[in-house]
Amino acid sequence: MTKEFNYDVVIVGLGPAGASLAYFLRKSGLKVAGIEMNGAEGVWGKPCGDAIGKHHFDETGLPYPSGDALKQKIEGIDIISPYGGVKLRVNGEGFMIDRNKYGLFLINESAKAGIDVYLKTRVLSPKLESGKLVGVRAKNEAGDDLLFRGKIIVDATGNSGLLRRQLPQSWPANEPLDPKDSNIAYREIRELNYDIDEPTYLRIYVNQEVSPGGYWWYFPEGRSSANIGLGVQGGMGYPAPNVIFKQRLETFDEVRNYAKVINAAGSKVPTRRQANTLVWDNFIGIGDNGYNVNPVHGGGMGYAFVAAFHASRTIINAFSANDFSAKALWDLNINYIKSIGKRQASLDIFRIFLQRLSNDDIEYGLKHGIMNADQVYETSVSGELKANLGLLDKVSVALRMLGRPSLLPKLATVATYMKRVQQLYDAYPTSPEGLDVWVSSVKALYSEYKAKIGAD
């Protein structure tokens, strides 16, 4: 017999998106269920680089990680060019976190405040009645069939998109991920047998031969261990990242000089602009599920927090108005776009360009200041290539002299389309009725852009 539960809000998945949403809603007075398939020891267990910028906590009001949830305070990132000739230092505070400990902290605080947390409970499918989303079916550890009913169902199951992909195909929220808009990533946490020089600086190595369409990273966790991994663009037939790790990364001294592997695992991360809509009738999808990830560096925890923060406001407003339609939930799209989504769309355009650059082009571009440290930071935060365009005149002569004139018009094209996509996001429809027409414009813009820069 199926056991039934009734809630205002049902959150499926208690990773960064779901757990932070539960935390933001903990004092809302709403009846909220948070359902997670892992037990306490597996919470936030998805493999990750574990690095996060401090600003995400400031922007959303989440407490900074501390105690055993904090592995290392970070002062900045070094970006290292393919042949090692250039090291760009980008300063900015951040943290290496113990995901499990920080996730458990958010979940425990939410539970203390009255959120009902169901661990070791796997959600199987959405429950629809007369075409309306009314809940989810689940199974607990004991094998009981469960039905959680809710007025708003939140899919925070990460890139598996468990509920989103089982919604009716006619719902715009059911929007599959093109594999080329993802990175397949793998990382090992290694105890090293040497002392790390500067443990407060993360290292990102850009090298298309080692990690095509991505990068490899070395993130210290104190003086003697590091989270080391790489991502490669999906859908391109590149070798699996765990294979590349063994074949290529192991050739670097800082990787191969280790005492033991503490954890090794891989997963997928979406690297595209946000989903066309994060909401539909009675439905919200956030975090990796809503493609709320920075397309250039693939960091997703902070943006999952931002999406959850806006979702909590939207949910509270929907209950005040007693309206759970797509129209009533629509301001989540608008607020996410305003705070970061528009910039992420612009970075998506930039990402497609970056993935097609050769090592020679990257080395050259970094060496000749087409991208200096400040601009790298500015571009990755603002989604604007303006500053670089300003430099075009200065570098154009040098570029031509070195027989690399093809890069110039490409950069100009990229900057133009970064601007144009931002303009499209400024014109995001104010209600669901305008979505189809808007999506057609976005598709047309992307086709035009990809044809211009020779991407498929």
Give the binding site for ligand FAD (CB under 6 A).
12-18, 35-38, 46-52, 122-123, 156-158, 160, 162, 185, 187, 229, 267, 269, 287-289, 293, 298-302, 304
Nearer to ligand FAD, 202 or 395 (CB): 202
Nearer to ligand FAD, 82 or 287 (CB): 287
| Among candidate residues 287, 257, 291, the one with its CA nearest the CA of residue 272 | 291
Per the CB < 8 A criterion, the answer to whether 380 and 296 are in contact is yes
Whole-number minimum distance, CB 314 to ligand FAD, in Å?
A: 17
Whole-number minimum distance, CB 88 to ligand FAD, in Å?
A: 18
Nearer to ligand FAD, 244 or 269 (CB): 269
* Helix segments in 358-434, DSSP class H: 359-367, 373-382, 386-401, 407-426
Q: Which residues, including other chains, have CB under 8 Å from residue 183's CB and lie 6 or more apart?
A: 213, 214, 231, 232, 233, 234, 268, 269, 271, 298
Whole-number minimum distance, CB 242 to ligand FAD, in Å?
A: 11
CA distances from 116 to 10, 33, 94, 264, 336 (A): 10, 5, 31, 32, 27
Whole-number minimum distance, CB 228 to ligand FAD, in Å?
A: 11
Whole-number minimum distance, CB 14 to ligand FAD, in Å?
A: 5
Identify the bridge partners of residue 218 per DSSP, sorted by sequence position: 203, 228
| Among candidate residues 200, 342, 189, the one with its CA nearest the CA of residue 265 | 189
Q: What are phi and psi of 79, to 5 degrees?
A: -105, 120
Nearer to ligand FAD, 107 or 395 (CB): 107
Nearer to ligand FAD, 162 or 435 (CB): 162
Q: Is 183 exposed, middle or buried (0-12, 13-18, 19+ CB in 10 A)?
A: buried
Whole-number minimum distance, CB 50 to ligand FAD, in Å?
A: 6
Tokens of 337: 């776009």
Nearer to ligand FAD, 254 or 429 (CB): 254
Nearer to ligand FAD, 332 or 399 (CB): 332
E strands, 172-224, in order? 182-192, 201-205, 216-220
Tokens of 317: 């407003």
CA distances from 204 to 1, 34, 82, 318 (A): 53, 35, 10, 42
Whole-number minimum distance, CB 89 to ligand FAD, in Å?
A: 18
Per the CB < 8 A criterion, the answer to whether 289 and 304 are in contact is no
Whole-number minimum distance, CB 15 to ligand FAD, in Å?
A: 2
Q: Is 113 exposed, middle or buried (0-12, 13-18, 19+ CB in 10 A)?
A: middle
Nearer to ligand FAD, 90 or 370 (CB): 90
Strands 216-220 and 225-233: antiparallel
Nearer to ligand FAD, 22 or 318 (CB): 22
Whole-number minimum distance, CB 299 to ligand FAD, in Å?
A: 4
Whole-number minimum distance, CB 48 to ligand FAD, in Å?
A: 4
Distance of alpha carbon 348 from alpha carbon 170, whole angstroms: 26
Whole-number minimum distance, CB 241 to ligand FAD, in Å?
A: 8
Tokens of 205: 């190595």
- Helix then strand then coil, in percent of the chain rounded to 5, is 40, 25, 30
C-beta neighbour count of 334 within 10 angstroms: 16
Whole-number minimum distance, CB 444 to ligand FAD, in Å?
A: 29
Nearer to ligand FAD, 13 or 135 (CB): 13
Distance of alpha carbon 206 from alpha carbon 218, whole angstroms: 12
Nearer to ligand FAD, 50 or 98 (CB): 50
Nearer to ligand FAD, 285 or 365 (CB): 285
